[in-house]
A and B are shown apart, each in its own frame.
Chain A
Amino acid sequence: MALEIPKALEKEIDERITHYPVSKRSAVLPVLHALQHHFGLISEEAVVWTAAKLELEPIKVLEVVTFYPGFRQSAPGKYHIRVCRTLACAMAGGHELMESLCAAGKIDRSGVTHHHPIAVGADGKFSIEFAECLASCGTGPVCMVNDDFHENVTDASALLARYK
């Protein structure tokens, strides 16, 4: 699948690269953010495109993509849920929240591994993954749905019902 970069996106990326006059390599993160924002994930084609854009070997971009959990190499659902599993939330029921969200969103997490952390429901509406601390340790368990933040989540069905 060939990657099609819209003109406006490429213009934005080119502008971001100008912020790093000493070494183009420093622009890897901003370029990847722009690509993931547009495509929803960083595909293999996007890695190669970024490398060519910044005059790097593709492995030097793949290193960055695979380091940050924030960069996805597989497509998420329409609504992507991040459930906190760091200590405070884990003690407040983060893992139970994960289970109830999966049940409510009809998501099967049995295929999740270290290298494939995201599970997507069969209908593609919801996807879910564990995240590290979302910075609200006093109000756990917490999760994010796309960019919305939810605290003290007890009723998974009610939460997902808000997303059509």
Chain B
Amino acid sequence: MSDEQKPAVEMVDVQIDGEWHQFPKGTRMIEACRQAGRDVPHYCYHPKLSSPGNCRMCLVEMGMPPRPRPGEELKPDEDGHLPIQWIPRPAIACANTVAPNMGIRTDSELTRACRHGVMELLLINHPLDCPICDQAGECRLQEFSVEHGNGASRFRENKVKKPKNVAIGPRVRLDDERCIMCSRCIRFADEIADDPVLGFTDRGSHTTLAVHPGRELANNYSLNTVDICPVGALTSNDFRFQMRVWFLKETESICTSCGRGCNLTIGGREGEVHRLTPRQNDAVNSAWMCDHGRLNFHYLNSELRLTDPLIRGEAGHETATWAQALKTAAAALAGFGPNEVAVIASGRLTNEELFMARQFAAAVKSEFIDIVPRLGEADDYLAAADRNPNTLGAKLILGLENPGAGLKSIRDGIAQGRIKALVALQENLVDDAGFSAGDLGKLEFLLATYPLANPTAEAADVVLPGAGFAEKRGSMINLTGRLQRLNRAHAGPGQTREPWEILRDLIQELGGGNGIYRADDVFAAMAAEIKEFAGLKLADLPADGVALLDTGETVPLLDRERERKAKGVIVG
């Protein structure tokens, strides 16, 4: 073995519930059991956080080979395994690692008795207010009560009273009586968010999770504490009492609030998004997401949603059918010469939509196509300065070197009368791209697609309702060059259509059919033309995406996670 080569990780034999398995040395017992398909219930353990071992729910029976008497030698069996002497006291599986010839029993009488006892202790002071608790349906205490608990309580004394309905921050609410003191939230605040404002006061029979008077849990990652809280102690101000979790239809998608592309799950019901929760992807966002991205969906349920195509008539905008609106738009656009039409696409469009935007620009004989850059402030965790989710897709598909650099020439072209028509795809040019009402007034024809009513739509001759991120299917490329898929949770309100559909129909009106019926067809057409996508299929993209481009971009939070994992502080 050369010096550069890492030594191969030593594998150890471990017997779990009677079957022998092999695990790398250093594997936590709880992870070994999980990998062997014998999940061990737990509350405090979280692979991304340190393991204090305080909830005791993961107690298992453990055994090792007995120490031989002097002169005696242990005889291995025919498979080379030594006999196991079971230790009469249980061990926690979360903070101990496997050892050679170790035995673990996750289903023995001792293990079951431990779980039973721990459940009984945890429920002694628990208010059992499940009918009004937001966590009901995804509560570990409920689930393990069913699996490991006692049907009735033997406790006849008074339950301890603790603070309830405490606003510990602008977005998080605490019910201390529901808290089982697992300390996940404290460790998240200490270790991940670097904002150690949470702690336990009055440790003992009155242990109380608290923020110091005058302090609050206000960091941009505070709502992750609600996700990792195994019970209903921490709830989200935004989501609490909005919807029972078992009614939510869960759709795997990605966040479109910045270029990070955090993986998330959309919790929706009957055409309405109720919450977004992070979905683990160790190459993108670990198990977390920022509060800004998580809460940035309410516009989808806004009263300002455009629900029907609109055509400007004598008396202002009038509702039209798609056929009328598309025909009107196509007829108007067909009347302009080469480069008299400009297209302003968006870094919020999917690759498929950008590809259709490129085809569309060709159909209207325009070389003017650009996107609106959107810059914010990067933090040292996940949030990226580029607040467009698909800038890399726009660069790749539209061939833009410097996105946004062409906007000025489009504005100048409009001012000088060279550009006579403008198509704004999912962008609000007045508020976000520095166009004035005067600029737009000079145009002979303005077509706008957007989910919401806005000043650009107000000025447009034809307005088409375009779907928001939860209402469309497609792919985007995040800042690290990872190709990820958005899935449609539900259709947009009213007559809303996905932008790629709108563009396909416009192209059809302008020049005939193109054989595209699904977002997957667009992707296939794109893969045939753009070499980076060659060989890929939209439907085959894995839930955690694929590395497509090498951008050299790193994620500060992931760098720190790798460091902690290498030190063995976390499982990762």
Interface positions of A (Cβ within 8 A of B): 44, 47, 56-60, 62-63, 66-67, 114-115
A82 to B198 CA separation, bound complex (whole angstroms): 32
- Contact of B199 with A by CB under 8 A: yes
The answer to whether residues A57 and B202 also contact, given A44-B213, A62-B212 and a CB cut-off of 8 A, is: no
Closest 5 CB pairs of A and B: A59-B199, A59-B212, A58-B212, A66-B201, A63-B199
Instruction: Determine if B201 and A57 form an interchain contact, defined as CB atoms under 8 angstroms apart.
Output: no
Instruction: Determine if B206 and A62 form an interchain contact, defined as CB atoms under 8 angstroms apart.
Output: no
- Contact of B196 with A by CB under 8 A: yes
Instruction: Determine if A62 and B204 form an interchain contact, defined as CB atoms under 8 angstroms apart.
Output: no
Q: Which residues of A contact B205 (CB under 8 A)?
A: 114
Residues of B323-351 whose CB lies within 8 A of A: none
Smallest CB–CB gap between A64 and chain B, Å?
9
Smallest CB–CB gap between B569 and chain A, Å?
16
Chain A facing B: main interface SS: helix
Residues of B180-235 whose CB lies within 8 A of A: 196-206, 210-213, 215
Interface positions of B (Cβ within 8 A of A): 196-206, 210-213, 215
Chain B facing A: main interface SS: loop
Chain A: CB-nearest residue to B189: A57
The listed residue with most A CB atoms (<10 A of its CB), out of B198, B205, B206, B212, is B212
11 additional A-B residue pairs with CB within 8 Å, beyond A59-B212, A67-B201: A44-B213, A57-B196, A59-B196, A59-B201, A59-B215, A62-B210, A62-B212, A63-B199, A66-B201, A67-B204, A115-B202
Q: Which residues of B contact A63 (CB under 8 A)?
A: 199-201, 203
Selected from A44, A47, A59, A67, the residue in CB contact (under 8 A) with B197 is A59
Smallest CB–CB gap between A12 and chain B, Å?
25
Q: Which residues of A contact B211 (CB under 8 A)?
A: 59
CB<8 Å pairs between A and B, sample of 14:
A47-B212, A57-B197, A57-B212, A58-B212, A59-B199, A59-B212, A62-B201, A63-B199, A66-B201, A66-B203, A67-B202, A114-B202, A114-B205, A115-B206
Smallest CB–CB gap between B372 and chain A, Å?
41
Q: Which residues of B contact A59 (CB under 8 A)?
A: 196-199, 201, 210-212, 215
A39 to B211 CA separation, bound complex (whole angstroms): 25
Instruction: Determine if A60 and B206 form an interchain contact, defined as CB atoms under 8 angstroms apart.
Output: no
Q: Which residues of A contact B202 (CB under 8 A)?
A: 66-67, 114-115
Q: Which residues of B contact A115 (CB under 8 A)?
A: 202, 206
Q: Which residues of B contact A67 (CB under 8 A)?
A: 201-204
Chain A: CB-nearest residue to B196: A57
Instruction: Determine if A58 and B215 form an interchain contact, defined as CB atoms under 8 angstroms apart.
Output: yes
